[in-house]
Structure 1
Amino acid sequence: MKRPTRFRKNPPMTPSRRSALFGLALLPLLPRLALAQATTSPALPEPPDLGPDYRAARSSFRTHLLRRGPAPDQGDALSAPPGAEGLTYRSNGRDLVAWASPAGNPTGLRPAVLVLHGGNAIWHGHWTDLAAPFVAAGYHALMPTLRGENGQPGDFSAFYDETDDVLAAAEALRARPGVDPARVFVSGHSVGGTLTLLAALAGTFRGAAALSPAPDTRLFFQRFAQDVRFDASDPREVEMRSAVCFASGFRCPVLMSHGDRETRSSASIDLTVARARAAGLRAEHRVVAGDHMGSIPAGIAEGLRFFASL
């Protein structure tokens, strides 16, 4: 397990100073590059520590989208892959598709995991790579599409409004026959890993395992500029998408893992862990063998061990 960096309190930061540090750090954004190829992070000022109440912060913030439309990736047809069944769940007045393992026996409750796919669309391979290992380990799994993905209604916002969909999908999972509502976990990879952290700040889960997440989304948006559809000159837009800014408020134990060949977010994960631990929370950072995609099996194995320890 990686040793966390030493926690230090951030000095008071005025809105104008935050704008200079956070907004200008994003602009100009770098071109969209292949994910997880670089091994060093750009020099950026330390993200602010905005306190433990991400829920309250979300209640008073609305993202300002400068461009509206579907998610940038296309994905597969929404017919359920082998081993899963299709269903719909409701989020913010819209019906969205999800895939789930077959409903269980209502008299024999078992743990469940909300599985969040990588990228900005869902593919059948996501179920095989990310959900099936949890099902094989005895968990009920549900993998949702999010607004704007795969022809679904709604506007893509890059993490923020999608967090509402994640929380709505979690409620649909809790209501599934055979699911123990007290043992619902969340796990995701890449984009799904970042959403896992935001869900652990805003929702109610027994534990969270984020594979290859970006807790400081400045690093993500520098590499994926085409995903920025919000007003990037407003520092709050990025802060509200960055779990590191609210790490003292995780509402469940959190594990963050990544491959030893993808270290771009390693320092920001260390800082996230340090801030959470300074608040008395359980947070862990583990490095497994592999690159961004090759590390998935080992990351899931770590997640399963972490969940079992809870």
Structure 2
Amino acid sequence: MSDDQAFRPNRRSLLAGIAFTLFAPNIVRAADDSTTGTKPADNKAAARNEEKAEDAPPQLAGDYAKERHLFRTDLLSKGPAPDIYEPLVTPSTAERLFYRSGVGEELELVAWVSRYTRSDKPKPAVLFLHGGNAIGQGHWQLMKPYVEAGYVVMIPSMRGENGQKGNFSGFYDEVADVLAASNRLRHLPGVDPHRMFLAGHSIGGTLAMLAAMSTRRFRAVAPISGNPDAYAFFGRYPQDIRFNTRNPREYQMRSPLCYAHSFKSPVKLFHGTEEAHFDSRLALLTKRATAAGVKMEMATVTGSHNSALPGEIAQSIEFFRSVAV
């Protein structure tokens, strides 16, 4: 039985996948976008579309960052993120800080940052985007390898998550939150703004792609099990749709595949060997990006959406080190 079937009543929870498996056995697990195994019968068409590269979104002209300045998402349903969440209690090994986002910086959102001591040489930093649409203690426990490798680590919460203000939009306005959080991180005392890296898992992996197309701020980017095709994602999870589906631009601006030429940092895409449904989409993203001169590669790590994550984090550290010591 797939994880999706086993936990269908609560498709996602605050800990999103591996965080549940390793650290929170009493909390319902999140399936996120990429559970493997048998897909729900009523989503067979979406599953077929997800696996066929020929059905992928079109490649569009224009730079994604510039297109973002011109586009405003039309939310027909406004409200909080859809996931079950826990209180925003700061982990014992982290510090809580706030960052501002939104039009006019009207949103004050929580982020967790690893404790560190300033040194003569500024420290590299990793901005990690959690899976699912809520942040939990288990996400933070996954950050230990980055901390032990010498990085200052920040995990930001997003608008509408964990009872915070703001409207969930699904892969769009949340990108503005990622950019705002990265700006907060690079201005922390003792952080090297020239050695700032971006990683994310599942939904966070997709947001990492979109953010990497929106700024040159990151030295390198490691999306993990992110779906680059919004058509496929929302085809499987229509209950997450808040935007006007009659406008194709809404899907295109949420699909890295449409703007693969816009990546502004070296990228290494990760996914598990048991996530074969990602193969064609990520391969097409890599093909489109590298054809435009983007430094991008794809790697598979033994395991599923959940079990591969520790290995993927370890390999992302190796990738970041290969780009900048």
Common fold by TM > 0.5: yes
The equivalent of 1:282 in structure 2 is 295
1:304 is matched by which residue type in structure 2?
A: I
**Mapped pair 1:297 → 2:296:** no
User: How far 1:54 sits from its partner (Å)?
Assistant: 0.5
The equivalent of 1:50 in structure 2 is 60
Instruction: Give the Cα separation in 1 of the matches to 2:244 and 2:56.
Output: 21
Q: Deviation per CA, 1:64-94, whole angstroms, max 9, x where unpaired?
A: 1110000001322112112111110111221
Match of 2:171 among 153, 159, 162: 159
CA contact (8 A) 1:103 1:177 kept: no
Structure 1 runs, 4 residues or longer, greater than 3 Å off = 32-35, 38-41
User: How far 1:106 sits from its partner (Å)?
Assistant: 5.4
User: How far 1:34 sits from its partner (Å)?
Assistant: 7.5
The equivalent of 1:105 in structure 2 is 118
1:242 is matched by which residue type in structure 2?
A: S
2:245 is matched by which residue type in structure 1?
A: A
Q: How does 1:249-288 map to 2 (within 5 A)?
A: 249-288=262-301
The equivalent of 1:144 in structure 2 is 156
The equivalent of 1:63 in structure 2 is 73
Q: Which moved more, 1:52-61 or 1:164-173?
A: 52-61
2:272 is matched by which residue type in structure 1?
A: G
Where do 5+ consecutive residues of structure 1 fail to align?
1-31
The equivalent of 1:37 in structure 2 is 36
CA contact (8 A) 2:57 2:231 kept: no
1:71 is matched by which residue type in structure 2?
A: A
The equivalent of 2:5 in structure 1 is none
Instruction: Give the Cα separation in 2 of the matches to 1:287 and 1:54.
Output: 27
RMSD value over aligned CA atoms? Answer: 1.6
**Mapped pair 1:179 → 2:191:** yes
**Mapped pair 1:218 → 2:231:** yes
Instruction: Give the Cα separation in 2 of the matches to 1:33 and 1:308.
Output: 29
The equivalent of 1:195 in structure 2 is 207
Instruction: Give the Cα separation in 1 of the matches to 2:87 and 2:148.
Output: 24
The secondary structure found in structure 1 opposite 2:192 is strand
Instruction: Give the Cα separation in 1 of the matches to 2:279 and 2:75.
Output: 29
Instruction: Compute the TM-score of the two structures, normalised by the length of structure 1.
Output: 0.86
Equivalenced residues, count:
278
Q: Deviation per CA, 1:256-279, whole angstroms, max 9, x where unpaired?
A: 110111122221111111111111
Instruction: Compute the TM-score of the two structures, normalised by the length of structure 2.
Output: 0.82
Instruction: Give the Cα separation in 2 of the matches to 1:38 and 1:198.
Output: 27
Instruction: Give the Cα separation in 1 of the matches to 2:134 and 2:235.
Output: 20
CA contact (8 A) 2:58 2:258 kept: yes
Instruction: Give the Cα separation in 2 of the matches to 1:104 and 1:217.
Output: 41
Instruction: Give the Cα separation in 1 of the matches to 2:230 and 2:99.
Output: 28
